[in-house]
């Protein structure tokens, strides 16, 4: 999830589209509502209004969630790292969509046994915008970093959807597992915001291929976020089937028993930080950590002092336990930085 004004701007655009589209029938609709109220009463009218709201949200919620065109050049230009060994790679998903990846290579000592981080970004921009963050991961964590643009983002084909993003994540993991120069026992998932939901889902479906997960400023689910962002009456009572995109991380995280790091910026103005704490509490992992950054905002927590120290400590513990193997006793720690 990115800046809140983008959500409101998209909502405004959706409402304008709906109004324009329905202008020809609005007078008939108004008459029908009046007749319904007089003939059947307020409860029936309220039910129709709720059904209409649900239909509109279902049709347009992709516009409210995915922002591949922001900034405006995101679909045209993907910045590449300079003076750093990297590969610009294209892969195919199982449903035939062509995706763009960037592989940043760690080439210092013991590079053959270096861990590999799969980086899943938020709902706007492209992988090039995350290169500065990924380079700091490479240096501080001594790891390869693979960034993937979801379908419909950057130079990847297709249109974004929940199931599509899940397939993109699976294809990225499959690709990494085919490379002979990557240690397959040290594959770690990282996801920020929407990418956190993608990472959690991928980890829940691949417990034997994923060594650990790190998620930052992500949410419990889209219905939880809808109730938070649009707190008026109908949103709190819409059934799950009304949501085209669900991203039920609160269910998926319950299947993630691998070592897990939950990173929370308490100054996040978009996703309530309490959701990160709830995900941490829902995690069944016996080696889980909650790193809290009081000054961390939604997109910039990675710039807080002590951020990479927290990630580095987590990775050191992971490597000591031989990647996928958890200790018998395990630990659950909260670190306030």
**Radius of gyration, alpha carbons of the chain:** 22
User: How much is the pLDDT for 8?
Assistant: 46
pLDDT (tens digit, 9 = 90+) per residue, 292-302?
999 999 999 99
Q: Which residue has the tokens 């960034």?
A: 147
Whether the CB-CB separation of 256 and 286 falls below 8 Å is answered with no
Pick the catalytic residue: 86, 149, 168, 193? 193
Cα torsion 294, 262, 319, 109: sign: negative
Is 193 catalytic? The answer is: yes
Give me 306's structure tokens: 């002590």
Relative to beta strand 331-336, strand 116-120 is unpaired
- pLDDT above 60: residue 39: no
Whether the CB-CB separation of 63 and 14 falls below 8 Å is answered with yes
- pLDDT above 50: residue 66: yes
Q: How far is CA 192 from CA 92, 213, 262, 282, 310, in A?
A: 23, 11, 10, 18, 16
- Residue 25: which pLDDT band, with cuts at 50, 70 and 90? very low
Whether the CB-CB separation of 312 and 273 falls below 8 Å is answered with no
CA gap 186, 259 in Å, rounded: 12
Relative to beta strand 116-120, strand 144-148 is parallel
Relative to beta strand 260-265, strand 187-192 is unpaired
Which of 111-115, 135-139, 226-230, 333-337 is least confident?
333-337
- pLDDT above 70: residue 326: no
Length of the chain: 337
Is 298 catalytic? The answer is: yes
The CATH homologous superfamily to which domain 86-336 belongs is Alpha/Beta hydrolase fold, catalytic domain (3.40.50.1820)
pTM confidence score: 0.82
pLDDT (tens digit, 9 = 90+) per residue, 244-278?
999 999 999 999 999 999 999 999 999 999 999 99
Pick the catalytic residue: 224, 252, 289, 298? 298
- pLDDT above 80: residue 196: yes
- pLDDT above 90: residue 236: no
Pick the catalytic residue: 204, 249, 260, 268? 268
In sequence order, which residues have a C-beta less than 8 Å from that of residue 249 and are 6 or more positions away? 196, 197, 200, 201, 218, 219, 220, 221, 279
In sequence order, which residues have a C-beta less than 8 Å from that of residue 273 and are 6 or more positions away? 217, 264, 265, 266
Integer distance in angstroms from the first to the last C-alpha of the chain?
Answer: 24
Give the residue range(s) of CATH 3.40.50.1820 domains in the chain: 86-336
Which of 230-234, 262-266, 306-310 is least confident?
230-234
Question: H or E segment at 263?
Answer: strand 260-265
* DSSP code of residue 208: T
- pLDDT above 90: residue 313: yes
Q: How far is CA 216 from CA 72, 169, 269, 301, in A?
A: 25, 17, 14, 8
């Amino acid at each position: 999830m990115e800046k809140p004004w983008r959500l409101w701007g998209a909502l405004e655009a959706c409402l304008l589209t709906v109004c324009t589209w329905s202008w020809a029938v609005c007078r008939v609709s108004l008459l029908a509502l009046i007749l319904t109220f007089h003939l059947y009463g307020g409860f029936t009218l309220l039910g129709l209004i709720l059904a209409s709201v649900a239909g509109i949200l279902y049709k347009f919620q992709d516009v409210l969630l995915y922002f591949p065109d922001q900034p405006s050049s995101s679909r045209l230009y993907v910045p590449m790292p300079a003076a750093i060994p990297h590969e610009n790679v294209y892969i195919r998903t199982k449903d035939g969509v062509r995706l763009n990846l960037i592989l940043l290579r760690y080439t210092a000592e013991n590079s053959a046994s270096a861990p590999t981080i799969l980086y899943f970004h938020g709902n706007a921009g492209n992988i090039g915008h995350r290169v500065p963050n990924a380079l700091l991961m490479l240096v501080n964590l001594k790891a390869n970093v693979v960034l993937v643009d979801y379908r419909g983002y950057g130079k990847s084909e297709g249109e974004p959807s929940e199931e599509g993003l899940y397939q993109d994540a699976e294809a990225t993991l499959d690709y990494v597992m085919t490379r002979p120069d990557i240690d397959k026992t040290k594959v770690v998932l990282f996801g920020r915001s929407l990418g956190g939901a993608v990472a959690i889902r991928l980890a829940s479906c691949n417990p034997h291929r994923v060594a650990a997960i790190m998620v930052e400023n992500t949410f419990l689910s889209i219905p939880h976020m809808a109730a938070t962002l649009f707190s008026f009456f109908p949103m709190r009572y819409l059934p799950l089937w009304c949501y085209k995109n669900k991203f039920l991380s609160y269910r998926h995280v319950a299947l993630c028993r691998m070592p897990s790091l939950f990173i929370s910026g308490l100054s996040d103005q978009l996703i309530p930080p309490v959701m990160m704490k709830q995900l941490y509490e829902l995690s069944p992992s016996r080696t889980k950590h909650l790193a809290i950054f009081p000054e961390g905002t939604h997109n910039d927590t990675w710039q807080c002092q002590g951020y990479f120290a927290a990630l580095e400590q987590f990775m050191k513990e992971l490597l000591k336990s031989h990647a996928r193997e958890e200790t018998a006793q395990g630990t659950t720690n909260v670190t306030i930085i």
